[in-house]
Amino acid sequence: MNILGIETSCDETSAAVLKNGRVASNIISSQLIHKAYGGVVPELASREHERLIVSIVDRAVNEANIQKNDLDIIAATAGPGLIGAVMVGLCFAQGLAYALKKPLVPVNHIEAHIFSGFIQEDPEHQAPEDNFISLTVSGGHTMLCVVDNDLHYRVIGRTIDDAAGEAFDKTGKMLGLDYPAGPLIDKLSKEGNADFHTFPRALTAQSRTSKSYRDNFDFSFSGLKTSVLNYINNHEPEFIEQHLPDIAASIQEAIISVLVEKTVAAALKYNIGAISVAGGVSANSGLRHKMETSCAKHGIRLFVPKAVYSTDNAAMIATLASLKLSRGLVKPNNYDVAPFASFEYS
């Protein structure tokens, strides 16, 4: 079965083809136009998707060495995301599916991230047979789920303010770093001392704001953002510049330590032996190393997607469509799909 996946939820235009469950192509075009504005501008994102969508889909199909008529299923992100951006990819998919007389499968972008750690490229890379804890962490979402082996999941924790990726970008902007700041903080942190300064870790054992932190799997990063701003304002610019790698490392440690602590605590509480970490922030080298160390200590299997599948990509859209179709959890749609902007937590 050949499945075309299309993803345009934010500032990546992506198309991918799965051939019998394996990735045959995965084309991603990341928009650089937003760098000048320090964040994604929704209207500009939509226009860039419109400009690129045809060529990106054509490249994905050609790289997979098939023709459009060889496609069996068209899958596309229906949300959540920037509504204008989502509409570009979804409307294109609807039109293409209708023209080719192929079924359409709408996909939840966040659900696709949850299962992106199991994108098939080789026979050895298999999803866990039992349930697992999923940490989905990106610029717009930070969410912990218990995922059952029937692909159903329940949310046990989420951010109550800023997402982790948002915290990286906003604190990086305070330090004068370009957007997106997350990768730059990761790079600087490798040269810095993570113990240089202790920034707050809300809703954790290090925080006195919650007596029941052990049973609280929610996240909060707005206090970290405020703390970093106060720290910068209380020091001379020369001091900040001189100790930039140390400050970056301290910020990164404050973010990833919370992510690791809560994720591993959830696995232990629910007696689950596998963890999956996905989303753009899962590409952070510090998070990967710290999560690997903690999981190894507790005998927990860890699944993290390759860096190319960490950020928004169409391979994860096609993969989730394939998984759900193979298990009879979804039926191809008749093209009448409404886009949506927000993720409904349950």
- Say whether pLDDT at 188 is over 80: yes
Nearest to 266 by CA among 217, 300, 219, 213: 217
- Say whether pLDDT at 123 is over 50: no
Q: Find out whether 322 is annotated in a ligand binding site.
A: no
- Give the pairing type, strands 132-137 and 274-278: parallel
Mean pLDDT of the chain: 92
User: What pLDDT, on the 0 to 100 scale, is given for residue 35?
Assistant: 80
What is the mean pLDDT of the segment spanning 208-234?
84
User: What pLDDT, on the 0 to 100 scale, is given for residue 286?
Assistant: 97
User: What pLDDT, on the 0 to 100 scale, is given for residue 80?
Assistant: 94
Q: Find out whether 273 is annotated in a ligand binding site.
A: no
Paired with 277 in beta bridges are: 135
- Say whether pLDDT at 189 is over 60: yes
Q: What percent of the chain has pLDDT over 70?
A: 94
Q: What percent of the chain has pLDDT over 90?
A: 77
What is the mean pLDDT of the segment spanning 201-213?
65
Q: Find out whether 246 is annotated in a ligand binding site.
A: no
What is the mean pLDDT of the segment spanning 293-308?
94
User: What pLDDT, on the 0 to 100 scale, is given for residue 127?
Assistant: 62
What is the mean pLDDT of the segment spanning 294-321?
94
What is the mean pLDDT of the segment spanning 223-231?
97
Contact 134, 147 (CB under 8 A): yes
Least confident of 39-43, 243-247, 341-345: 341-345
What is the mean pLDDT of the segment spanning 181-201?
97
Q: Find out whether 140 is annotated in a ligand binding site.
A: yes
Contact 27, 89 (CB under 8 A): no
Express the helix, strand and coil content of the chain in percent, nearest 5 each.
Answer: 45, 20, 35
Q: Where are the alpha helices (DSSP H) in the chain?
A: 42-63, 83-100, 109-114, 164-174, 182-189, 222-233, 237-242, 244-269, 285-298, 307-310, 314-326
Residue type, 199: F
- Helix (H) / strand (E) element for 133: namely strand 132-137
- Say whether pLDDT at 124 is over 70: no
Q: Find out whether 138 is annotated in a ligand binding site.
A: yes
- Say whether pLDDT at 213 is over 60: no
Q: Which residue segments constitute the domains of the chain, with CATH numbers given? A: 2-116+310-326 (3.30.420.40), 127-305 (3.30.420.40)
Contact 4, 53 (CB under 8 A): no
Tokens, residue 19:
């051939």
- Say whether pLDDT at 223 is over 70: yes
User: What pLDDT, on the 0 to 100 scale, is given for residue 344?
Assistant: 75
User: What pLDDT, on the 0 to 100 scale, is given for residue 291?
Assistant: 98
> What CA–CA distance (Å, rounded) separates 272 from 256?
21
Q: Find out whether 169 is annotated in a ligand binding site.
A: yes
Q: What is the 3-state secondary structure (H, E, C) of 267-328?
A: HHHCCCCEEEEECHHHHCHHHHHHHHHHHHHHCCEEECCCHHHHCCCHHHHHHHHHHHHHCC
| pLDDT tens figures, 86-103 | 999 999 999 999 999 999
| pLDDT tens figures, 7-61 | 999 999 999 999 998 999 999 998 878 887 788 898 999 999 999 999 999 999 9
Nearest to 137 by CA among 161, 162, 165: 165
> What CA–CA distance (Å, rounded) separates 11 from 283?
17
Paired with 30 in beta bridges are: 12
Q: Find out whether 137 is annotated in a ligand binding site.
A: yes
Q: Select the more confidently predicted residue: 37 or 69.
A: 69
Q: Find out whether 113 is annotated in a ligand binding site.
A: yes
Q: Find out whether 148 is annotated in a ligand binding site.
A: no
Q: Find out whether 70 is annotated in a ligand binding site.
A: no
Counting beta carbons within 10 angstroms of the beta carbon of residue 101, is it exposed (0 to 12), middle (13 to 18) or buried (19 or more)? exposed
Q: Where does the pLDDT of residue 126 fall: very low under 50, low under 70, confident under 90, or very high at 90 and above? A: low
